[in-house]
Copies of this chain bind each other. A is one copy, B any other.
Amino acid sequence: MNYYQEHKSEFLEGLKAFLRIPSISTLPENKPDIRRAAEFALNELRAAGMTSAELIESPGDGNPLVYAEWLGAPGQPTILFYGHYDVQPPDPLDEWKSPPFEPEVRGDNIYGRGTCDDKGQVYIQIKAVEGLMKTNGKLPVNVKFLLEGEEETGGEHIEAYVKTKPPRLRADAVVVCDTEMFAPELPSICIGLRGLVYYELSVQGADHDLHSGVYGGAAPNPVMAIAEILTALKDRDGHILVPGFYDRVVPPAQKEREAWARLPFDEKEYTEKEMGAKELVGEPGVPLFEKVWARPTIEVHGIRGGFTGDGAKTVIPARAVAKISTRLVGDQQVDESIAQMQAAVKAVCPKGVTAGLKVLSSGAPSLTNPDNPYIHAAAEALKEKFGQETVYIRSGGSIPIVGVFDRYLGIPSVMMGFGLPDDNLHAPNEKFYLPNFYRGIETVARYLEMLAR
């Protein structure tokens, strides 16, 4: 038995302690928990044998970065591990089967907010390094860690920091464990991510709520106006109607399309069991993986306005607010797409109301070349530990920092993720498949061994 097999129960208990900290970055009241989670990660890195471990404070009121390094392998490559210790809010709370911050193992899964996204995967990275250090007293390559606490809110602090190109971040590749495998036994590397611009759309009608009997038929209605704006931005077939929005969309290569078509996939299972939906929607004639990996979208994440309590109240509300986002692909540019969206909202805004579209966060799309040697080695390590050929996939999600690493540090991101498609990210009952947790630790360790020249 090696170190990894001997310490499974310690790994699980350590992960649970990490998960119990409600480090929700979107809620101001959880600010102290954010710091506790950063310090937890810092202590784990020190215990794993990393040096120069410290919190990098934000110049503003941002959340601290966690940095650590081990540079005892001169002449060998340097790997930068990235992950995030913050999590999404847990609401709606009443849909959780066990409390979101009291992790519970049921069957082969551990349930709790952050189990998969991303504390479980950050913990994989730390424990992989710990195992090599405890076993050999050293690492096969140089290793750096940079963990952030604002991934779920837009990651401004890490972006600002990386953009200064600090010498301590010099590395040959970034390893990002924040994506998912295509199927439970199918090792996968993600080579493409969609970009994201997250907006708040607010619409103001009259300056106070109006009686819908007295004024209905003549008064502007901001909820109706939001409905009119949304349906003018995207049609029922999922086509975005924003002028110019598709201009820089690059279709996937024929070879990539063919590889996607060969992926093991049961559409009925995906739709009904994984998503819990009755049917798929979206652009007619576009294959599913192209829809979610290689096509831009507009989604509305939430809306509120007027009276929503029990019973009836006959008001025309003064104001309504929606949270919406665009996902970007190919060569779409964040700034250009924002300008297009703002112009479109202005153009389609109904009579009688004022609409404002405020950007809350943004990140560029990214696409990596699978022939890169750091990606190739990751595919080999995965194949060895999972016993199957690694597939190259994309993700419809967004990890804005990947584009920033590419642009400012000039290094590729190796997106070696251990999540599964049904892990309920950002939703109630988030989980992590424990066999992947343990195999993930061993895979990352094996990857570092393979990188040694």
**Which residue numbers of A lie inside 8 Å of B, CB to CB?**
25-28, 88-89, 91-92, 95, 152-154, 180, 194, 196, 198, 205-221, 223-224, 226-228, 230-231, 234, 236, 238, 275-283, 288, 291-292, 295, 297, 299-318, 320-323, 325, 327, 350-352, 354, 360-361, 395-398, 421, 424-429
**Residues A306 and B303 in contact in the complex (CB < 8 Å), given A196-B314, A325-B212:** yes
Quick one: which of B153, B311, B427 contacts A208, CB cutoff 8 A?
B427
Question: Which of these, B219, B317, B426, contacts A277 with CB under 8 Å?
Answer: B219
Minimal beta-carbon separation of A114 from chain B (angstroms): 14
Is the beta-carbon distance between A314 and B198 smaller than 8 angstroms? Answer: yes
Distance in angstroms between the alpha carbons of A209 and B196 in the assembled complex? 19
A214, A304, A316, A321 — most chain B CB neighbours (10 Å): A214
The 8 Å CB contact of A313, one of B88, B276, B354, is B88
- Could you say which of B280, B301, B309 contacts A89, with CB atoms under 8 Å apart? B309
Neighbouring B residues of A277 by C-beta, 8 Å: 205-207, 219-220, 352
> Is A321 a contact partner of B308 (Cβ separation < 8 A)?
yes
Measured between C-beta atoms, what is the minimum distance from A279 to chain B in Å? 5
Residues of B within 8 A of A89 (CB): 307, 309, 313
Residues of B within 8 Å of A213, CB to CB, are 194, 196, 327, 395-398
Beta-carbon nearest neighbor of A227 in chain B: B227
* Contact A218 B351, beta carbon cutoff 8 Å: no
Most buried by B among A180, A212, A238, A278: A212
Query: What are the nearest 4 A-B pairs in CB distance?
Result: A213-B397, A302-B306, A207-B276, A227-B227
CA distance A239 to B449 in the complex (A): 69
Most buried by B among A217, A297, A313: A217
How far apart are the CA atoms of A371 and B402 in the complex, in Å?
Answer: 78
Residues in chain B near residue A279, CB distance under 8 A: 220, 351-352
Residue of A153, A309, A395 contacting most chain B CB atoms (<10 Å):
A309
In the assembled complex, how far is the CB of residue A220 from the closest CB belonging to chain B, in whole angstroms? 5
Residues of B within 8 A of A198 (CB): 312, 314
Tell me whether B310 and A154 are in contact (CB under 8 A). Answer: no
CA distance A154 to B358 in the complex (A): 39
- Do the beta carbons of B275 and A219 come within 8 Å of each other? yes
CA distance A312 to B321 in the complex (A): 13
A207 closest partner in B (C-beta): B276
Query: Which chain B residues lie closer than 8 Å to A308 at the CB level?
Result: 302-304, 321, 323
Taking the nearest CB of chain B, how far is it from the CB of A367, in angstroms?
15
Q: Are A396 and B302 in contact (CB under 8 A)?
A: no
What residue of chain B has the Cβ atom nearest to residue A213's Cβ?
A: B397
Selected from B214, B226, B426, the residue in CB contact (under 8 A) with A209 is B426
**Interchain CB contact under 8 A, A303 and B304:** yes
Q: How far is the CB of A313 from chain B (nearest CB, A)?
A: 6
